[in-house]
Amino acid sequence: MTQPSAAPCIAVVDDDEALRDSLAWLLDSVGLATLSFADGEAFLAADPDSFDAVLLDVRMPGLSGLQVQQRLNERGDTAPVIFMTGHGDVPMAVAALKSGAFDFIEKPFNQQQLIDAVQQALAEHQRLRSLRLRVEDLRTRYDALRPKEREILVLVAKGFTSREIAEHLAVSAKTVEVYRLRGMKALGASNLAGLVRICVALGLVDALPDTGSLAPEE
């Protein structure tokens, strides 16, 4: 029997205990779990894998919300952050958005507005997590290729023809084609555009405009 998946967990970081309790009740009412923290230091000490999104107050004793966000960015945390701001804190919220925050909402906030923002943040978190897993899978596949296959695929993605690659590597054009097709099949790239997107995602070639998303190919 399949076990039910755990509910997404939201970290609520605010020095107002009444607000923390209110948010915990509200989020629980729509099937979301919460972890509450009275200050930024306690939140940063928690396991970052234990929550899927963060509701973060801008103004708190000790570390401010912006300072907490900076620490999260420095250690590479990926959970989306929604700032809760009081009157007059909009400039700070804009600064937070520029630093990668997902959204901000003003206090006192509409309950449905907050729930919508959290659900959107969770959907974005899942999308980025899926993308990250996809890239990790591609990296594993790429690393499993022969060195010559890897070299040829990168040159193909950079726009070199089979003849140019053959001359550069001092092999036959037939060998280049065999290695190219074998490598593309291993990576799941059905065409050149797919190969370029994969190589860009893996950091093997520079990004090009309009290369599309890294969605698994049919």
CATH number at residue 43: 3.40.50.2300
Q: Are residues 92 and 114 in the same domain?
A: yes
Residue 111 lies in a domain: yes
CB atoms within 10 A of CB 171: 15
The answer to whether residues 122 and 151 belong to one domain is no
Mean pLDDT for the chain overall: 87
Residues of the chain above pLDDT 70, percent: 91
Which residues lie closer than 8 Å to 146 by C-beta, 6 or more apart?
Answer: 179
Tell me: the pLDDT tens digits for 143-170?
999 999 999 999 999 999 999 999 999 9
Tell me the residue range of the domain where 154 lies.
145-201
Does residue 14 sit in the same domain as residue 61?
yes
Whether 77 and 153 map to the same domain: the answer is no
- Residues 48 and 118 both lie in one domain: yes
216 lies in some domain: no
Number of domains observed in the structure of the chain: 2
Are 108 and 22 in contact by the 8 Å Cβ rule? The answer is no
- Do 159 and 115 lie in one domain? The reply is no
Q: What local confidence, expressed as pLDDT, does residue 216 receive? A: 41
- CA-CA distance, 211 to 196, in Å (whole number)? 8
pLDDT band at 49 (very low <50, low <70, confident <90, very high): confident
Domain membership of residue 1 (yes or no) is no
pLDDT at 184 over 90: yes
Same domain, 128 and 161: no
Question: Do the Cβ atoms of 115 and 25 come closer than 8 Å?
Answer: no
Do residues 66 and 164 both lie within one domain? no
The pTM for the full model equals 0.69
Evaluate whether 198 touches 138 at the Cβ level (below 8 Å): yes
Identify whether residues 124 and 157 lie together within a single domain. Answer: no
**What CATH number is associated with residue 170?**
1.10.10.10
